[in-house]
A and B are shown apart, each in its own frame.
Chain A
Amino acid sequence: MTTDLDQNPRSLLVSERSSFRDLKNRISSQVEQLHLNYKVSLLLPEYSFDRSVPRTRIDEDNCVSLTPKGHLTLSLDKDSFEVLGVEGKPSRFNHRVKKRFVVSVDLTDSCMAPGGRGYLRLLAGLKSRLRLKMDFLLSHHPGGGASLQTLLSRHDWSEHRPEVSRHTLTHLSCPALLTSDLLSCDPHSFLEWLGAAHAHISCGNTSSSFLSSLVCPEPKTALSRALSVSVCGLLLPQDIHRLLQQIRVYLEESHLESWACLTVHGFVDSPVSWGANEHGVLRGGENFYSLLMFHDDVYYLHQATGAHDTCPP
């Protein structure tokens, strides 16, 4: 048996172009599908700032997530799964032997109502047999306060504010023809350039530079300044929707060649991504999408995943 050292684990990049005006555009459902977002980064050209999940590892530990639609997913090792005694299925990412199992429960189902058969069985499994203890990251949106209060009153909890960081980037080289008709460079080069911008990496090299030959995709222009803003924490699709609306309003008000790029990173150790599909970590566990928007409502959506993931919607 020989392994080809040139091979890499699977990765997928889905690149889409559509318009907010297109009646068939699926952007809101696509935003809706990545429930557990860790970080949002926004890149705005020619703009300066002037206004204002469980903590365990999916490839090693038991992980649990609960999505806003009431879908509870437990990703458990074999022992815990057997002790829990609730129906589940083997993980899609098992290797050789079945070591990880996924239990998926729809909490809105009638038998899962408090007192129901399924509810009691799951509760008994979790409380007395498995005795699973976990830290959860919760996020609430306005209006859901009362039920959350009763829940929190029974547990130790602390509040964490999302962490916001802003950087004004100056003299940023940027792919020219960043317009709605034509993305001048291929999706991978575009994402590389975007990553370089957010990571404050200089693209001012030549292909013969010794240290780095990273260059901005040609043809290129220079932006005198741009704003890079990031928010870190547990962010809900609702938050992303609100942000999207604000960006669209901003784009409509601004001049013709304007664009904005929003990147949303999912949690690496989330048991689900892209809806209720199983997610895992082989090496990286990346799952993110990047939305490049233009003033004429056209957008490019790039959705990227690593090895243990399904194809994005």
Chain B
Amino acid sequence: MRREDETDETSVFRRVVLKNASPYHYMKICLVLDDESTKLSAVDLKLFILTGLKNLFGEVGAAISFDLLKYDEDTLSGLLRVPSRSLVKLWSSLTLLGFYQNQACAFRVLQVSPYLLSLTGNSRELKLD
């Protein structure tokens, strides 16, 4: 899916248009638990997400290699990286996860993008002082 637009060997100018070529998608997520005092380590969170994938998509789901790029234990929020072709599966399994160790929970997906950079500049988060 790569298209060379113009190539001019004599000058330094070069332009490449990449369509749907992003290998990964990135998600900003936050876990909300019924009992807000529950603690979850990064490893706990990753294992929990893996169970969700396995519940919904079986072994194929459990084989999806996603990354927990960043995690804040105090707010239970973090950034995930997932191969683009597995985004729909990971996202839907997060959506359908309703219980963490028998207590009600919900994943709030705050932003999804094919670019990690976009997650650092979301104008919907703009707060006017």
A–B direct touch in complex (beta carbons closer than 8 A): yes
Binds A, one of B29-37, B94-102, B118-126: B118-126
Chain A CB within 8 A of B39 CB: no
Binds B, one of A70-78, A87-95, A144-152, A281-289: A281-289
Chain A CB within 8 A of B38 CB: no
Chain A CB within 8 A of B108 CB: no
Measured CB to CB, the closest approach of chain B to A261, in angstroms, equals 10
A214 B69 Cβ-Cβ under 8 A = yes
| Number of residues of chain A lying within 8 A (CB) of chain B | 62
Nearest-neighbor residue (CB-CB) of A290 within chain B:
B117
Chain A residues whose C-beta falls within 8 Å of the C-beta of B120 in the assembled complex? 39, 41, 195, 198-199, 230, 265
A14 vs B87: C-alpha distance in the bound complex, in angstroms? 23
A30 vs B41: C-alpha distance in the bound complex, in angstroms? 45
Nearest first, the 4 A-B pairs at minimum CB distance are A195-B116, A265-B121, A38-B123, A195-B117
Category for how many chain B residues contact A: 35 or more
| Contact mask for chain B residues 29-69; partner A; CB cutoff 8 A; 1 contact, 0 none | 00000000000001100100000000000000000010111
If A17-B14, A24-B11, A192-B116 are given as contacts, then 9 extra A-B residue pairs at C-beta distance below 8 Å, sorted by A number, are: A5-B89, A8-B85, A8-B114, A15-B15, A39-B121, A57-B124, A214-B81, A230-B120, A268-B124
| Contact mask for chain A residues 261-292; partner B; CB cutoff 8 A; 1 contact, 0 none | 00101111100000000000001101010100
| Given A263-B117, A284-B113, A304-B115, A201:B79 Cβ within 8 A | yes
Chain B residues whose C-beta falls within 8 Å of the C-beta of A158 in the assembled complex? 128
A-B contact pairs, 22 of them (CB 8 A): A8-B84, A8-B88, A8-B114, A10-B19, A11-B19, A11-B115, A13-B115, A14-B15, A19-B11, A22-B12, A25-B13, A38-B121, A38-B126, A41-B120, A192-B24, A194-B117, A199-B69, A201-B70, A211-B43, A212-B81, A233-B126, A311-B17
B124 A269 Cβ-Cβ under 8 A = yes
B69 A196 Cβ-Cβ under 8 A = yes
Chain B residues whose C-beta falls within 8 Å of the C-beta of A311 in the assembled complex? 17
Chain B CB within 8 A of A164 CB: no
Measured CB to CB, the closest approach of chain B to A58, in angstroms, equals 10
Chain B CB within 8 A of A80 CB: no
Which residues of A193-230 have CB atoms within 8 Å of chain B's CB atoms? 194-196, 198-202, 210-214, 230
A199 B79 Cβ-Cβ under 8 A = yes
